Amino acid sequence: MRRHADHYLRYVPLLIAIVALASVIATAAATPAASAKLLPRAKLSRPHIPGFIVTGAAFTVRGTLRPHHADGAQSVKIKCYFQNASGHWVFEKSVWATNHDFGSITRYVASVTLDAPGYPVLFRLRAIAPADSQHRTTVSRWAHGSVLVGE
C-alpha cells in the first residue's frame, strides 16, 4: 500500500525546528563566553639549583617571577622528581617558595631537602605559578641535577 505525499508533509515543521535548533547550538558552541577571556601567563624563570646535592641536606632553589608579586607571599610551587632505576621520573615532593622584592620583579626562594634512595640518582624540578585573577597557570622549564648519597 502506497502512502500519499501529504502524509510526509506533516513532518516538515518538525524538521525545520530541528535544523533551527542545531544551528543555534552550533553558533553558541563557536562563540566564546564573555567570562572565558584568555588571561596572559606570568613569566617564570627556570629554577637555579646546585648541580649536585647530598641526600638529606637542604639546598636553595631560586628564580624570578614577573610581574611583581607581593613580598613574603608564596606564589610559586616547586615540584621535585627522582629518576628511578627503570628510568621513569617519580614525583617526590612539592614545596612553596617565598617571594622577595628584587626591583621591578619578584625573586622566589625555597629551601628543599630531598631524601633519595640509597644510590646515586638524577633529580629534576620545576617551578609552577598557579593561576590567579590576572594570570593563567605558568610552568617553568626543568632544572636537572644529581643526588650524591650522604654518609
pLDDT digits (tens, 9 = 90+) for 123-145: 999 999 999 888 899 999 999 99
C-alpha 109/C-alpha 103 separation (Å) is 15
In a domain, 90, yes or no: yes
Q: Identify the pLDDT of residue 74.
A: 93
Question: Residue 63 corresponds to which amino acid?
Answer: G
Q: Which residue has the higher pLDDT, 15 or 94?
A: 94
Q: How far is CA 139 from CA 64, 66, 71, 80, in A?
A: 12, 13, 20, 13
Least confident residue range of 23-32, 36-45, 54-63: 23-32
Q: What is the mean pLDDT of residues 69-79?
A: 92
Range 14-38 average pLDDT: 69
Say if residue 34's pLDDT is above 50. Answer: no
Strands of 67-130 (E only): list them.
76-83, 89-102, 105-113, 121-129
Number of neighbours of residue 117 by Cβ within 10 angstroms: 13
The CATH number that applies at residue 139 is: 2.60.40.2300
Domain membership of residue 132 (yes or no) is: yes
Cβ pair 95, 112 in contact under 8 A: yes
| Mean pLDDT for the chain overall | 84
Q: What is the domain count for the chain?
A: 1
pLDDT at 48 over 50: yes
Q: What is the pLDDT of residues 93-134, one digit of tens each?
A: 999 999 998 888 899 999 999 887 766 788 999 999 999 888
Residue 100 maps to a domain: yes
pLDDT above 80 for 24:
no
* Segment 66-94 mean pLDDT: 90
| Residue 18 resides in a domain | no
Q: What value does the mean pLDDT take over residues 27-55?
A: 79
pTM for this entry: 0.71
Within 10 A of 53 (CB to CB), how many other CB atoms are there? 20
Instruction: Establish if 20 belongs to a structural domain.
Output: no
Looking at this protein, which amino acid is placed at residue 3?
A: R
CB 108 within 8 A of CB 99: yes
Domain range enclosing 83? 43-148
Residue 22 lies in a domain: no
Residue 115 inside a domain? The answer is yes
Residue bearing the bigger pLDDT, 35 or 15? 15
Whether residue 25 is contained in a domain is answered as no
